[in-house]
Structures are given as structure tokens and as C-alpha cells.
Amino acid sequence: MTDWMELEKKYYMRTFAHLRLPVVLVKGKGARVWDETGREYLDFVGGWAVNCLGHAHPVVVKALNNQAKKLIHTSNQFYTIPQLQLAEILVQQSCLNRVFFGNSGLEANEGAVKLARRYGKLKLNGAYEVITALGSFHGRSLAMTAATGQESFHVPYLPMPEGFINVNYNDIGAIKEATTAKTCAVMLEPIQGESGVIVPDDDYLKKVREWCDQKGILLILDEIQTGIGRLGALWGYECYGVEPDIMTLAKGLAGGVPIGALLAKESASVFIAGDHGSTFGGNPLACAAGHATMKYIIENKVTGHVVEVGTYLIERLKQLKDKYAFITDVRGRGLLLAVQFNSDLAQSVQMECLEKGLLVNKPKPNVIRLMPPLIINNKDVDRAIDILDKVFSGINK
Ligand code: PLP
């Protein structure tokens, strides 16, 4: 049998922070995946919050099959139907008015910042600075590395592109202090995912929205992790009673197919012909998967399901917290949840879970994150809790 891990060692750039777990996954169905030896795992990583309908969902598979037979790619020199169908559904279902498609989260965010700078040039006397939060994550291009408020991401690539001011998250005073005549936008995640599921105060985004209105600057919400039903509403902003001027999406949008989207209110939609573009962005194959995914989520009221199953999952996790003193926090919303420990236990918990057939993610040395497919049921939750309980009881000894 081919030793795939040896091939990886030999040929692949080893860039991933946590290095790969020692399994070669070959297929998936719903919330389950199988490795090359036939071992089954319950997937609570969900492709880093991408596989919102689980693996091989028939609706996504059918959309991809049908579209692949017809037209995979054309370029944006032409109109294509899936792109416009997806744009229509996104606008109809959100508070935004216009869409631009890319291929990933970082591209969506780059586009958002370009749009905000364009807005600054046209309407704010050339303002170009974007205030972002410490602990945020916005992607891996140079500009999005600068937007990402984590010094460890900056250091290997200094100097950083200018124009990003990183301030404390969940601190309206810090945003106010950092706002100057050069500020064109504030960019935030409704919940910080990569930092270990950091949930702000309920009124934080409202206060930021009010400040942006007062100053005439734009509010960009990076909903790459929180959007598409993850928090139990189609968009994270709905949970906090605000509307962004610009919103970015990626991850779950096409049920696993690479895609990114930048949405803007009409008032912020200031790009003109030639300002922005993409070869693959909005490609018919990805958009067909996106349209099928969105339609399924809306027609089947998946967000209501996320509220129910997410509430059950967090309740069961809180029971584990009551049982094990080394669990210091259980937090999150919908199906974006985290368990925090009093020491750096996350690596061993992750490995023990893997051993017992459960996939979890470790965003921080003392935090595991759960972001399963949105279609999991209470039995899946019970199975995951059972495995976590066994793993934790081993730690307790
Ligand atoms: N923004 C947020 C909030 C994310 O969680 C991520 C990825 O984890 C990104 C941006 C970057 O997305 P991508 O990896 O698709 O470029």
C-alpha cells in the first residue's frame, strides 16, 4: 500500500501549524468520514467549518454532477446562470445588495478592504486605514496577515503592509481611540473563531455599528466562519441585531467547494468597471454547489435545527464541565463551540479523541473547538460526548 504520509513528508510544503493528524481520509458521508484502513470517525471538525451539509450530501453532489456535465468554467467575460442564481439568493436572504465572488475567505476579505479603501478615496477624503481586532483571523495574504491581529503571524513576513490598526476585541473604547481622519472602516468577526471561539458582549457590535454611523465609516463583518447558519441564524450579524455595510463569506457557502463572496450595501458598493476581478471567482461549478447548498439550508430551515442541536450540545458539554475540574470554560453559539482547559491539554485530548473515533480541532494549546456539520443530530452529539467523557476520565486519573 502506498505510504501517503511518507509522500507528504517528501513533496508537500509543511506549513500547517498543528501538522496533520496521522490519518489519510478517503471518504465521507454525512457527519462521518473513513480513513484508508476503513476506520470510521465522527467528524466534529467539519473541514474547519466548511462541510455544513456534511460529506457527500446528495443535493451538493447532484448540483456538481449536473453542472460539471454542462459547463465547468467560462471566465467572467460572460454571464453564467449559477453565478447569478447564487448572487440572487444571497441578496434576497441578507441585508446586503450586491455580491462579488472569489475562491476563498482571504480573497473575500481582500476585496472587502479594497472596497473600503475605494470608499475612503471617494467619500472620506482618501481615508484608508482599517481597524481590526487583536486575536482576529482574516486570512493569509500579506494584507490579510496585517489585518489579522496576531503578532506571531506578522513576524516572519515583516514589514507588514500599512493601513491596519489592531485593537482589543470587545472593547468599543479601543475602536474609538484608534479612529482618526484616516479611518475608512472597522473589520470584525462576530465571534472570533481561530482565537478559540471568543464571544463578545451582546451589545459590542451594536456599539461598533453606532460608532461607525457616527463617524461615517464602514462596518465590515468577516462572516467567513460565522455565516451560513453556523451560529443558528443564517448570518452572525442577525444574532447581534446589527447590519454590516460589507460582509464576507467563504467556508460553508458551497458545501465544501472552494468559494468566497464579498457582499455590500448599495451605499458601499463603489467599485466601478476595472476595479476588481478574478479568473475563477464565481465559476459556474462552485456557484452551482453554492446555490444548491444555500437553497437546501433555507428550504429545510437548517438554522432552526442548529439552534436545537447546538443547545443540546452545549448543555451536554456543560455537564462535562461540571464533572471535570480541569475544564474551565465551555462557550460558543450554535455549532461553533469551544471547551477550554486549565492547562495545555488540547493536543492530548485531540489525539485521544482521534484514537476513539472523534475528530476535534485545537485552535489553542488549551482549547478544543467543535464545528461539526450543521446536519448532525442528537445521537451524534451523544456519541461525541461519550467519547469526550471517556477521554476526560483518562485525564482525571
Ligand atoms: N476569516 C475568518 C474568520 C476565518 O476563520 C478564515 C479561515 O479560517 C479566513 C478568514 C480565511 O479563509 P481562507 O482560509 O478561506 O482564506
Smallest CA-to-CA distance from 153 within 110, 195, 188 is with 195
State whether the beta carbon of 189 lies less than 6 angstroms from ligand 1: yes
CA angle 160, 165, 167 (to 5 degrees): 125
Q: How far is the CA of 348 from the centre of ligand 1 (A)?
A: 25
Q: Can you identify the CATH homologous superfamily of domain 4-56+302-396?
A: Aspartate Aminotransferase, domain 1 (3.90.1150.10)
pLDDT in tens, the chain (397 residues): 789 999 988 999 888 766 789 999 999 999 999 999 999 999 999 999 999 999 999 999 999 999 999 999 999 999 999 999 999 999 999 999 999 999 999 999 999 999 999 999 999 999 999 999 999 999 999 999 999 999 999 999 999 999 999 999 999 999 999 999 999 999 999 999 999 999 999 999 999 999 999 999 999 999 999 999 999 999 999 999 999 999 999 999 999 999 999 999 999 999 999 999 999 999 999 999 999 999 999 999 999 999 999 999 999 999 999 999 999 999 999 999 999 999 999 999 999 999 999 999 999 999 999 999 999 999 999 999 999 999 999 996 5
State whether the beta carbon of 200 lies less than 6 angstroms from ligand 1: no
Q: How far is the CA of 225 from the centre of ligand 1 (A)?
A: 7
Distance in angstroms (rounded) separating the CA atoms of residues 351 and 341: 15
277 neighbors 283 (Cβ within 8 angstroms):
no
Distance from chain centroid for Cα 292: 19
Q: Residue 282 burial by CB count (10 A; 0-12/13-18/19+): exposed, middle or buried?
A: buried
From the candidate CATH numbers 2.60.120.1030, 3.40.50.20, 3.20.20.370, 3.40.640.10, the one assigned to the domain spanning 71-299: 3.40.640.10
Q: How far is the CA of 238 from the centre of ligand 1 (A)?
A: 20
State whether the beta carbon of 149 lies less than 6 angstroms from ligand 1: no
Task: Ligand 1, residue 104: give the atom nearest the CA.
Answer: 15
Give me the residue spans of the domains in the chain.
4-56+302-396, 71-299
State whether the beta carbon of 153 lies less than 6 angstroms from ligand 1: no
Task: Ligand 1, residue 136: give the atom nearest the CA.
Answer: 3
State whether the beta carbon of 105 lies less than 6 angstroms from ligand 1: yes
Q: How far is the CA of 140 from the centre of ligand 1 (A)?
A: 8
Would you name the residues annotated as active-site residues? 137, 222, 251
The helix/strand/coil state of 166 is: strand
